Every structure is written in structure tokens, then in C-alpha cells.
Amino acid sequence: MSILLLHNRNLSRRRHLSRIRDYAAQHGERLILVMKDPAWEREYADLVVAADISGTVATVGAVTALARKEASPVTAIVTFVEQAVPSAAACAQVLGLPFISTEAAYLARDKYAMREAFSEVRVDQPAYRLAGTTEDACTAAARIGYPVIVKPLIGSGSKYVQRVNDEMSMRQVFASLRQASWANFSYDPLRAQAEARYAGAVLIEGYVPGCEISVEALVVDGVPQVVAIHDKPLPMTGPFFAEIFFATPTALPESTISAVVAATETAIKALGITTGATHTEFRITPDGRVVMLEVAARVGGACVYQSVLLSTGIDLVASVLDLARGVRPALPGTEPCRLGAGPVTTARPVGHYLIFADQPGILVGTNGVDEARARSDVRDLEVYHQPGELVNVPPHVSQAHGHVIFTAASRDGLAATCDELARTIRLLTKPVPPS
């Protein structure tokens, strides 16, 4: 029997791939990896199939042909990258395997369709409109009220998401943002379909002041179970929204946690997500409103998997694999998972800091990495790039250049540790020579 993993290159997923490999071996399964241009990922799989998975129809064809050739049946399909979720859903549907429906997979990727689904169940969310031209954007922003957010309809990691404060700024940036929001997602299976559906438009949303959080949940037998909440303690006021520092468990008051859990459950059900993991983002306003940003039908990115595991003992990767195989995962301590009775508020304090170079260019080295690794509170530190590689910075990238995961004696101590590590670790770059 075999587990099939659809994957795109993602330098932060080494720990995920290692866990998937170990899980497959422990359960007597072969691991088949399907991705474009596999390189270092090969060491994690029993069989690697090089295939372009940027189109859903082609991916389904390649996977079904592979399944017919395999001597042992494919018993599970999983993915841990957002772009592959619709293709994984389509493959699972054809092969009759557990996964979310193709409709749910689409709703969890198309940000306008997601907003419409949330509107139907009255989830508190920003005002939103579509805009295909600069004039459309100025009209939409005037109706919503500045400041606003310009956001791609597909994508992840806040790539090409920008706060715009007034009409003059909108006229300066909208055309380039709209163009980048489509041109730079050519690898996304939904790009052609969504661009045609919306005639190249993007989203204009009201800016929501306040702190940002992310919520990890597992959906078992159609029932969402929140297992962790990460605060993002650094101010995220724009113009860009790179996610830098995550801390768990949450420091939110009990009443807000209850509202967050309820909103998460409502949103997951509104999208029709009936199994697997979800990653949900909210803004909490200064007056305590819980405002929905978006839901993804996957485990949270970067080091969220490792952070939750270290903090709560809950293995999100193994749980997703269990659900994909039709097995109910063991979730210690998650009944109930709110109001101080479970890992949401009583877990071990864990933080992670995402490392970005200060300037784009060619990576020439690092400062402070060995010093940071030597700290007793640092549990994992990885720089994803090697000297000589080209690195870019937000908003042009959605992936960090490295990460550090750390613990503290108390939840309040995480911020001081993060600040020390941020001052210590530096990625050094030099400009790209003119061609």
C-alpha cells in the first residue's frame, strides 16, 4: 500500500517530509512523491515521480495513470502546500480516497468565493469588493473607506498583499499590484481559471486594525477541533504583511478565545471542509471584535507544524496522514480544546521567528547563527539557502529564508527571546551584478 504526496518546492517543509517518511515506514506504506523538478526531496520518498502539478487536469491524469501502474494500491493522498490542495481533492475524488471535496478545496483557495461563503453565514469579516482597473479600485476603496488592503485572489504567505492609505497611493500602486497578482502565480493550478473568472481583478478589502492570530484545527468526522492558537505579537500595520514572530499558547482572554473557536468552527463548516487540517487567520480589533481574514485547508506554513508539536504534543502531520488513511487520529488533551482546558491555553510556551534577509541580492553568509544555535532555549534553527543563492524580500516572496524555534519559561518571556534572536541573526547579501 502507498501514500501519495503532492508537493511543490518549499524549503520550510524538510521536517514535514521527514515525518511523512517515518510515518509511512512505521505503517508499512510506501511513500510516493509527485512534484515538479524534485531535488533534495528525493531522499524522503520510496518513489519519486517528476510531474508538473500546476494544472489540475494534468495532475489527475498523471496520478491516476501512476495508480494503475502501482502493484500496491494507493490508500491515501495528502499535500502540505496550499497550491496543491485542489489537485489533491480532484485526485482523491477519482480514486475514491478520503479528502475534502473539490468544491471545498476551491472555496479554500479562491479568496472572493471564500468571502461570499462567509457572508452567507454572517462571519464577521472586512468589507470587500472586486477591482479590475485603477478606477474600479478607487471607487471600491472610497465606498469601503481608506485605508484598504489590495490582495490577490489566489496565493498565500501575504505575497503582493499591500495596505493602501489614500486615493493618490492607490493610483500609484494598483496597476503593478494587479499585474503581479496574476503574472507571478503561473505555478498555481487555479491561476488560469480564476484569472478568467474574474477578468484579472483583485480584491479590495477594508483594513482591520488590531493584533493578528492564526488558529490550527483538525476536522475529524466533520467536526472541527481547535488544537492551537498562535499570536503574532509584532505589529502588522503594513504596508506589507510579512509574518515574522509567532507565539503559542495565545495570550488572549478566555472570552476572546471562545469567540475565536466559535468563528473558526463556523468558517470551516461554511467552506464545506469535512476532514484534514485547517489554518485560519483573524484580526482582533482594539475593542475585541474577532474579524475573519481567511481559512486554508492545510496545516499552517513555515514552522507551525513543529511549533504545535513542541508546544502541545499534537502531531499535525501524523494526524493529517491518519485522516487521509481513514483512521481517527489520537488527539491527547483536546476534549475540550478551549477555555483553559486543553492545549489552546495551557500548552508549553513556544515561539518561532522567521528569518529574512534585510536586502534582496546574493546570499554571501550569515552572522550569529552559531551563537543562536548554542542557546539552551533554541530548539531548531535552519537557514534554507546556501551562499551564492539569490534571495528576495517581501512582498515579492511568500517564504522566509530560515527559521528559529525557541521556548521560554513563560508565555511573556517569548517576546524578549525573539527580540534577542532577531538582533543576533543576520543574513548577509550583496547586490546582483548588472547584466
pLDDT band (50, 70, 90) for residue 336: very low
| Calpha distance 353→246 (Å, rounded) | 7
On whether both 254 and 231 belong to a single domain, the answer is: yes
How far is CA 338 from each of CA 194, 269, 309, 374, rounded to the nearest angstrom? 37, 18, 18, 35
On whether both 61 and 133 belong to a single domain, the answer is: no
pLDDT band (50, 70, 90) for residue 121: very high
Angle at 133 between CA 128 and CA 134, to 5 degrees: 90
On whether both 369 and 398 belong to a single domain, the answer is: yes
> What pLDDT, in 10s, does the model give residues 266-304?
999 999 999 999 999 999 999 999 999 999 999 998 899
Residue 121 lies in a domain: no
202: nearest Cα among 143, 153, 138: 153
Residues 6+ away with beta carbon under 8 Å from 374: none
On whether both 139 and 162 belong to a single domain, the answer is: yes
| Calpha distance 64→66 (Å, rounded) | 5
Residue 159 has pLDDT above 50, yes or no: yes
> What pLDDT, in 10s, does the model give residues 25-72?
999 999 999 999 999 999 999 999 999 988 899 999 999 999 999 888
Residue 91 lies in a domain: yes
CATH assignment of the domain containing 72: 3.40.50.20
Average pLDDT over residues 182-204: 92
| Calpha distance 354→422 (Å, rounded) | 9
Last residue of a domain, one of 348, 370, 405: 348
Last residue of a domain, one of 321, 348, 375: 348
Residue 105 lies in a domain: no
CATH assignment of the domain containing 142: 3.30.1490.20
353: nearest Cα among 425, 298, 403, 287: 403
Residue 117 lies in a domain: no
Longest dimension (CA), the chain: 62
391: nearest Cα among 354, 425, 426, 429: 429
| Calpha distance 60→57 (Å, rounded) | 5
On whether both 30 and 95 belong to a single domain, the answer is: yes
CATH assignment of the domain containing 228: 3.30.470.20
Residue 343 has pLDDT above 70, yes or no: no
pLDDT of residue 339: 29
Residue 115 lies in a domain: no
Share of the chain above pLDDT 70, in %: 97
Using left for φ > 0, alpha for ψ between -120 and 50, and beta otherwise, residue 69 falls in alpha
Query: Which residue range is the domain that position 274 belongs to?
Result: 208-348
> Which three cell numbers, joined as nine digits, stand for 367?
552572522
On whether both 63 and 43 belong to a single domain, the answer is: yes
The residue with greater pLDDT, 98 or 345, is 98
The residue with greater pLDDT, 345 or 153, is 153
pLDDT of residue 355: 96
> What pLDDT, in 10s, does the model give residues 251-266?
999 999 999 999 999 9
Can you list the pairs that 171-176 forms with residues at least 24 positions away whose Cβ atoms lie under 8 Å? 171/134, 171/138, 174/131, 174/134, 174/137, 174/138, 174/150, 175/134
| Calpha distance 60→33 (Å, rounded) | 14
Share of the chain above pLDDT 90, in %: 85
Average confidence score pLDDT of the chain: 93
| Calpha distance 127→145 (Å, rounded) | 9
Residue 122 lies in a domain: no
CA dihedral 327, 220, 293, 215 (to 10 degrees): -80
On whether both 180 and 303 belong to a single domain, the answer is: no
pLDDT of residue 386: 94
- C-beta separation of 255 from 272 below 8 A: no
| Calpha distance 226→277 (Å, rounded) | 10
Residue 113 lies in a domain: no
> What pLDDT, in 10s, does the model give residues 384-428?
999 999 999 988 887 899 999 999 999 999 999 999 999 999 999
Q: Looking at 277-373, list the stretches that DSSP marks H as alpha helix, in order from N- to C-terminal side.
A: 304-312, 316-324, 343-346, 369-373
Residue 106 lies in a domain: no
Strands (E) across 142-275 are located at: 148-151, 162-164, 202-206, 211-220, 223-232, 245-248
> Which three cell numbers, joined as nine digits, stand for 157?
504567505
pLDDT of residue 332: 65
> What pLDDT, in 10s, does the model give residues 4-14?
999 998 888 99
Stated length of the chain: 435
On whether both 154 and 284 belong to a single domain, the answer is: no
On whether both 282 and 363 belong to a single domain, the answer is: no
On whether both 310 and 410 belong to a single domain, the answer is: no
134: nearest Cα among 177, 175, 167: 175
Residue 157 has pLDDT above 90, yes or no: no
Last residue of a domain, one of 206, 233, 268: 206
- Number of domains making up the chain: 4
Residue 334 has pLDDT above 90, yes or no: no
On whether both 233 and 280 belong to a single domain, the answer is: yes
| Calpha distance 331→75 (Å, rounded) | 22
pLDDT of residue 340: 35
203: nearest Cα among 87, 91, 125, 270: 125
> Which three cell numbers, joined as nine digits, stand for 191?
491561476
> What pLDDT, in 10s, does the model give residues 209-234?
999 999 999 999 999 999 999 999 99
| Calpha distance 410→261 (Å, rounded) | 23
On whether both 261 and 335 belong to a single domain, the answer is: yes
